[in-house]
């Protein structure tokens, strides 16, 4: 058996602690810089409409004892949390985030703190990864403090797509622990923990990272002939893969019923897909590539990596790269395979199976590139051919300046400003290199200071990411609860809002903020303490959302208001009654020409909204039961726990469907009088149970996430396998230490 790679002699504790601590402090402070331009920088797009309010709600559920919160019927289209596989319902760190956000008094403050924490974790993981490949501490710190502020990571993941930010923050930790497990310098139990957390977070790009990183390192293990390490890493991979059914089987069951999953498995529209030429702007602070974004052309430097990478290319001593990385080219095989794989995936079609918008993968490519840069910085900058190298840097800066200007000649000021900043920073580095003291610490300070300066300049030029949707919701929880107190459950029951506010996003913050006096979009009603049908989801039940003309962000059109008053079957109750809605909040323009049926009263509110309320309470107020077959008689009906129902039927009358005011997602099971009953969904997606005629008994309805039993068994087996693997590694290490002492 090959001896484990013990690495270089251990440095003093002070040195080993101060550098990573400095990385964390500098990164956290740098992450505050965007807030100087806008306090809502980290509260845009999906963060504002979906993640922040849903985290708040999930935190409340966990505090009430509901963990894992796989399904919340009260959140309607957005309540299939296991099926959406995005919120990490089985991930304990995600649960901690939810609880902390739910305890905060201001959503903006809580979410900003969470994002800065994960930005810092990303930097620390990158530092450790670069160090593990052989980079010096100062060089590792330079790239670690640069990566979180690369274009896509800062403006998209940190600004809007927080699930992607968290998934990316796991990536260097997975890479680091996997590689150390391969080399035998870390107990494989830690590698399993990092991989399992990345998978159970639920973001598919995080899961893809585990696969790509694991494959690349297995190739490295074979190339370096670390057979025991390769076997150990493969075993870790099997243990981590055992969690996949738990996380993704509910998604596989729900995907055919959901909207926003359409078209062939592979196709290309060009949306959020970079071309190879777009990647040339790695070091151009104001280069905005011509990539189609969510709301139109890209408006931020999404392919920017770090200002010093391209200008220093002529100065790197490439022949020393292998020596710095361990002395053998095969030791960098994993780094080469992983970086190449992500280059290809970044240039992939717009949709590749479940993975759409390959621009999301550019940051993983950046991670690999910066590890290489850290090794090159460690090798030192060349000192020969000074004039030729300086001309090379000047030519590269001029080229990036041309690219920036040519992409959008109308934004000349931004191109000139970014180029001037780049020229000054490069000049400072080269001046130090030619005439300054030979201090690596000073060089690190210049490079990190330049990153901070570029970040400040980008915030001034671009502000928030205008390519993601603005919302500008109120964030003070107490203010929201007070503002919508008249729609709280005890006052208004179940609320359905019908409002079309999409156009307001183009009219600026003032108009948007004013609209939230009467309406809320996304899942924000959770924070206001209102029990509402409206919520944000990427996996809405298509029958339901189509019937209500409801978009993924909970906003609706006029056809939705018209349809809720119509029955699904001849002579049946209107849809709004089947849903057990008590209060309808509607924009007056959507109600023009539409009259609600008897039993409902419409009254205009002072703010201009139209409030339509039910005159009499719904039958069976303690249950979601909304309709029984003709002639059916109900003794008692009650909701059990979060998802269950129990109905005592004295008679099923003519027989047929019992309807519940909840969505019929896969996972529901029913029994009638102890025997299985068929669970279906009607034309609007509401859950129904088929019952025989002229019968009596107890109808019991329960929910279990699809594949939960298989998933739980797999997770348990994976955890047990990892514990055994970790125990064997610990025992083997203990025996080797004893042998060394005895010898």
Per DSSP, the residues of 710-743 read HHHHHHHHHHHHHHHHHHHHHHHHHHHHHHHHH-
102 vs 572: CA distance, rounded Å: 41
| Integer angstrom CA distances of residue 515 from 468, 471, 496, 559, 587 | 19, 10, 17, 21, 11
CA distance 440 to 729: 38
Q: What is the CATH number of the domain that holds 697?
A: 2.60.40
The pLDDT score that the predictor gives to residue 1 is 40
Displacement of CA 673 from its chain's centroid (Å)? 43
Quick one: pLDDT at residue 112? Answer: 97
Give 265's Cβ-side CA count (13 Å radius).
3
Which of the pair, 314 or 416, is modelled with greater confidence? 314
Residues 574 and 677 occupy one common structural domain:
no
427-453 per-position pLDDT tens digit: 999 999 888 888 889 999 999 999 999
Residues 575 and 670 in one domain: no
314 and 431 together in one domain: yes
Confirm whether 670 is domain-assigned.
yes
| Number of domains into which the chain is organized | 3
Q: Where are the alpha helices (DSSP H) in 436-484?
A: 440-462, 477-483
Same-domain pairing of 599 and 631: no
- The residue from 614, 640, 675 where one domain ends is 614
Helices (H), 548-672: 558-564, 575-578, 588-591
Shared domain for 535 and 557, answered yes or no, is yes
Q: What is the token pair recorded at 581? A: 């809605």
> Tokens standing for 341?
């794989």
Find the mean pLDDT for residues 353-362: 88
Assess if residue 144 is contained within a domain.
yes
- Flag whether 387 is in a domain: yes
499 plus 424 within the same structural domain: no
pLDDT on residue 7: 46
> Could you tell me if residue 2 is inside a domain?
no
* 394 and 345 within one domain: yes
Return d(Cα 415, Cα 292) in angstroms, integer.
Answer: 20
Q: Is 728 a domain residue?
A: no
263 — pLDDT class (breaks 50, 70, 90): low
Whether the pLDDT of residue 711 is over 60: the answer is yes
Percent of the chain with pLDDT over 90: 81
Residue 493 and residue 451 share a domain: no
Domain ranges, residue 118: 22-462
- 646 membership: H or E segment, kind and range: strand 644-651
Tell me the pTM: 0.94
Strand partners, 614: 600
Evaluate if residue 11 carries a pLDDT over 90.
Answer: no
Least confident of 10-14, 634-638, 722-726: 10-14
DSSP secondary structure of 257-326: GBSS--S-SEE---BT---GGGGGGTT-TT-----B-SSSB--S-TT---TTTTTTGGGB-GGGHHHHTT
Based on the fold, state whether residues 663 and 564 are members of the same structural domain. Answer: no
Q: What is the pLDDT at residue 53?
A: 98
Which residues 6+ apart lie within 8 Å of 220 measured at CB?
Answer: 179, 182, 330, 331, 332, 333, 334, 335, 337
* CA separation for the pair 426, 265 (Å, rounded): 45
Residue 320 has pLDDT above 80, yes or no: yes
Point out the domain boundary residue: 557, 584, 614.
Answer: 614
2 vs 592, residue with greater confidence:
592
State the pairing for strand pair 583-586/495-498: parallel
Q: What is the DSSP letter of 626?
A: E
- Report helix, strand or coil for 601: strand
Average pLDDT, the chain: 92
Which stretches of 305-443 are assigned E, i.e. beta strand? 351-352, 355-356
Q: How many CB atoms lie within 10 A of CB 25?
A: 12
Is 90 exceeded by the pLDDT of residue 327?
Answer: no
In a domain, 434, yes or no: yes
Same domain? 383 vs 485: no
614, 645, 670 - which closes a domain: 614
Q: How large is the average pLDDT for residues 116-136?
A: 97
Residue 6: what pLDDT?
47
- With respect to residue 710, please indicate whether it lies within any of the assigned structural domains: no
Q: What is the mean pLDDT of residues 655-684?
A: 96
Residue at 8 is within a domain? no
CA distance 183 to 3: 9
Mean pLDDT over residues 301-328, rounded? Answer: 92
666 and 567, same structural domain? no
Average pLDDT of the segment spanning 188-199:
98
Q: What is the pLDDT of residue 21?
A: 97
Q: Do residue 318 and residue 434 come from a single domain?
A: yes
């Amino acid at each position: 058996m090959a001896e484990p790679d013990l690495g270089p002699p251990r440095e003093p504790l002070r040195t080993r602690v101060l550098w990573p601590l400095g990385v964390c402090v500098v990164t956290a402070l740098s992450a505050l810089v965007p807030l100087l331009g806008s306090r809502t920088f980290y509260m845009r797009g999906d963060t504002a409409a979906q993640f922040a309010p849903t985290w708040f709600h999930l935190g409340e559920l966990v505090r009430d004892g509901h963990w894992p919160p796989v399904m919340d019927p009260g959140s309607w289209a957005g309540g299939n949390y296991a099926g959406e596989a995005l919120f990490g319902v089985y991930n304990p760190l995600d649960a901690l985030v939810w609880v902390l956000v739910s305890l905060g008094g201001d959503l903006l403050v809580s979410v900003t703190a969470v994002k800065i924490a994960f930005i810092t974790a990303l930097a620390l993981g990158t530092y450790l990864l670069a160090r593990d490949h052989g980079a010096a501490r100062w060089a590792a710190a330079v790239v670690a403090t640069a990566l979180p502020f690369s274009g896509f990571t800062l403006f998209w993941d940190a600004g809007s797509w927080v699930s992607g930010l968290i998934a990316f923050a796991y990536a260097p930790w997975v890479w680091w622990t996997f590689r150390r497990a391969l080399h035998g310098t870390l107990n494989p139990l830690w590698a399993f923990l990092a991989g399992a957390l990345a998978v159970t977070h639920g973001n598919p790009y995080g899961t893809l990272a585990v696969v790509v990183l694991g494959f690349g390192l297995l190739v490295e293990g074979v190339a370096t002939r670390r057979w025991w390490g390769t076997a150990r890493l493969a075993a870790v991979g099997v243990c981590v893969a055992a969690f996949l059914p738990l996380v993704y089987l509910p998604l596989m069951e729900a995907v055919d019923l959901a909207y926003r999953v359409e078209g062939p498995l592979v196709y290309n529209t060009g949306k959020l897909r970079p071309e190879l030429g777009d990647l040339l702007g790695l070091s151009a602070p104001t280069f905005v590539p011509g990539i189609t974004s969510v709301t139109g052309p890209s408006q931020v430097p999404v392919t920017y990596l770090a200002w010093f990478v391209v200008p220093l290319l002529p100065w790197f001593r490439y022949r020393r790269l292998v020596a710095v990385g361990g002395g053998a080219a095969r030791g960098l095989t994993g780094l080469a395979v992983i970086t190449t794989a992500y280059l290809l995936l970044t240039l992939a079609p717009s949709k590749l199976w479940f993975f759409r918008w390959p621009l999301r993968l550019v940051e993983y490519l950046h991670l690999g590139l910066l590890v290489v840069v850290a090794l090159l910085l460690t090798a030192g900058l060349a000192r020969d051919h000074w004039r030729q190298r300086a001309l090379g840097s000047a030519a590269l800066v001029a080229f990036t300046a041309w690219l920036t200007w040519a992409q959008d000649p109308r934004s000349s000021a931004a191109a000139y400003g970014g180029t001037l900043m780049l020229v000054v920073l490069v000049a400072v580095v080269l001046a130090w290199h030619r005439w300054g003291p030979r201090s690596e610490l000073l060089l690190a300070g210049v490079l990190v200071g330049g990153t901070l300066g570029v970040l400040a300049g980008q915030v001034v030029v671009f502000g928030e990411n205008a390519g993601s949707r603005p919302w500008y919701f109120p964030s003070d929880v107490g203010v929201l609860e007070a503002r919508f107190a008249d729609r709280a459950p005890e006052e208004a029951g179940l609320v359905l809002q019908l409002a079309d506010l999409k156009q307001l996003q183009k009219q600026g913050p003032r108009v948007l903020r004013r609209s939230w006096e009467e309406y809320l979009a996304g899942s924000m009603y959770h924070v206001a303490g209102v029990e509402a049908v409206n919520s944000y989801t990427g996996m809405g039940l298509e029958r339901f959302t189509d019937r209500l003309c409801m978009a993924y962000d909970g906003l609706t059109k006029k056809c939705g208001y018209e349809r809720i008053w119509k029955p699904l079957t001849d002579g049946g109750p209107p849809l709004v009654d089947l849903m057990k809605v008590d209060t309808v909040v509607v924009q007056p323009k959507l109600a023009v020409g539409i009259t609600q049926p008897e039993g409902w009263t419409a009254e205009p509110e002072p703010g201009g909204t139209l409030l339509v309320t039910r005159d009499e309470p719904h039958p069976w107020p303690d249950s979601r039961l909304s309709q029984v077959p003709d002639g059916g008689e109900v003794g008692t009906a009650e909701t059990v726990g979060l998802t269950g129902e129990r109905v005592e039927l004295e008679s099923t009358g003519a027989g047929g469907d019992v309807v519940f005011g909840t969505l019929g997602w896969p996972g529901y099971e029913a029994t009638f009088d102890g025997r299985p009953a068929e669970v279906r969904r009607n034309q609007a997606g509401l859950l129904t149970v088929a019952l025989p005629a002229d019968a009596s008994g107890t109808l019991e309805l329960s929910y279990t996430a699809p594949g939960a039993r298989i998933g739980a068994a797999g997770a348990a087996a994976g955890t047990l396998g990892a514990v055994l693997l970790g125990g064997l590694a610990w025992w083997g290490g203990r025996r080797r230490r004893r042998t060394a002492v005895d010898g």
